[in-house]
Structure formats: C-alpha cells, structure tokens
Amino acid sequence: METWIQLGRGPLFQLACALLVLGLLRIVVLALVELVEAYRRSSGRGVNWREIAGETLGWLVPVGRLWRQRPLYSTVSVLFHVGLFVVPIFLAAHVLLWKRVLAVAWPALPQTVANVLTLVVIVAGLALFVSRVASASGRKLSRAQDYAWPLLLIVPFLTGYVCANLALGAQTYEAFMLVHVYTVDLILVLIPFSQIAHCVLAPFSQVVSAIAWKFPPGAGDRIAETLGQGESSLPPLRSGAEPVSVRKKVHAQ
C-alpha cells in the first residue's frame, strides 16, 4: 500500500497538477482569445470599463454584498471556499509536499488553525449538500455533479483530518492516506472539466457579459442571410393565423 501512496503522492500528483494547470490554462486562454475577438468584432464602443472593474472586484471580495441575501447560506459558502483554498496550500505537511514538488516553500498555518479550518470545510460542505437536497428549487437546479462535488471535496479533508489527528493502526492510517491522496489527484484532474473551473473563470464573467451585450455591427443581417431569409428575418404573418398557446407541461400534469 505504501508504494501506491508514494505513487499517488509523487508522480501521479505531479501529473495531476500538470493536467490541472494545463487544463485551466487552456480554458483561460480560450476565454481570452474569444473575448478579444468579440471585442474586436463589436468595435468595443461604449464599454463601461469602470463598472466592469467595480463589479468584478466586488464579487472577488464579496464582503458586504453576499450578506444582502441569504446570509446563512452565504456565510457557509464563504467559509467553505476559504477552507478549500487555505488548507491544501498552507497546512504544514502540505508545505513540505509543495516544497518537494515546486522547490519553493512558504510559511505554514499553525496546526490548530488548520484543524479548525478542516472541520469547517467538512461541516460547510455537508451543509451545502444538505441545503441543496432539502430545497425544492435546489433539487430542480441540480445536476449529478452539483450533488457530487461538495461530497467529493470534503473526502480529502475528512481523511486528512483523521490521519493527522487520530491514533490509528498502520494499516488503517495507510488506507485513509490512500483515499486522501487519490481523491486529491482525481479532484485536480476533474477541475478544468467541471463547474469548479469557476475558480479561474469567475473573474471574467462581468467583462464577458458586457462584451456579449455589444452586438457586432451587421450581425443581424448576416445571420438572416446565412439562414436564407434575406433582408427581413420576419416575413409578414400568415394570413388568418390563429393564436396558439403554449401549454406549460408542469401544470398540465
């Protein structure tokens, strides 16, 4: 088992990190290329950069604005995010690991603080999962990955906490460590391909929305032309057309 742990913590971890970085780089570069292209196409006139910068910064440091609505949910969510970022990077044992991989070291968190943050992540992750399951609108919105992610994310925290704080037999310790190491590797690889990509993409949203609202000149006509509709995309109504209504399936049941 020791060999497997070493494999997961060594070469596989490095591979996972490489895939994570490359995967995130890919989506960021693609987003930037598309953004520049869209800006160029739209001639970029009338973009309110100040507003965009303000909103972007505002959501990066959401102090104040998050608590305007659903304060409990917001608090739990923020604690969850803080723990997710801080513990993997600043836990003492991880600092050593990072030093081995990156050859760079930084100050570590006191163990007690790391322990508390770990528990916070576990509790917050479970709370987020439960709130999603418990609310009708949450269930309506959620895909499988929305349920799976909070649970998957707390596995390394749970196993890491157990390994660091409980006196375990060698075999049990290794079993926990094995799960710890491999779930981390899995998470790192999955991030670029899932909604967790928001960890790097979220700051682009405001500028993306603003540029997407800038319609490229002539686009409407070109679209109509592509669709073979010529000058006007809206031919006159069929004579004597009767109104029809759309039945809402949810009410029809």
What residues between 180 and 219 interact with another protein by CB under 8 A?
193, 195, 197-198, 201-202, 204-206, 208-209, 211-219
Q: Can residue 232 be called a binding residue for another protein (CB under 8 A)?
A: yes
DSSP string, 89-156: HHSHHHHHHHHHHHS---PPPPHHHHHHHHHHHHHHHHHHHHHHHH-HHHHHH--HHHHHHHHHHHHH
- Cα→Cα distances 17→9, 21, 205, Å: 11, 6, 25
Q: Which is nearer to another protein, 103 or 246 (CB)?
A: 246
Q: How far is the CB of 145 from another protein (least distance, A)?
A: 9
Work out whether 250 is an interface residue with another protein (CB under 8 A). Answer: yes
Q: Does 249 bind another protein (CB under 8 A)?
A: yes
Cα 25 to Cα 22, 69, 126, 191, distances in angstroms? 5, 33, 30, 12
Residue 62 lies near another protein (rule: CB under 8 A):
yes
253 contributes a contact to another protein by CB under 8 A? no
**Nearer to another protein among residue 56 and residue 115 (C-beta):** 56
Pick 65 or 99: Cβ nearer another protein: 65
How far apart are alpha carbons 234 and 215 in whole angstroms? Answer: 19
Assess contact for 112 and 71: CB atoms under 8 A: no
**Closer residue to another protein (CB): 41 or 94:** 41
Q: Does 41 bind another protein (CB under 8 A)?
A: yes
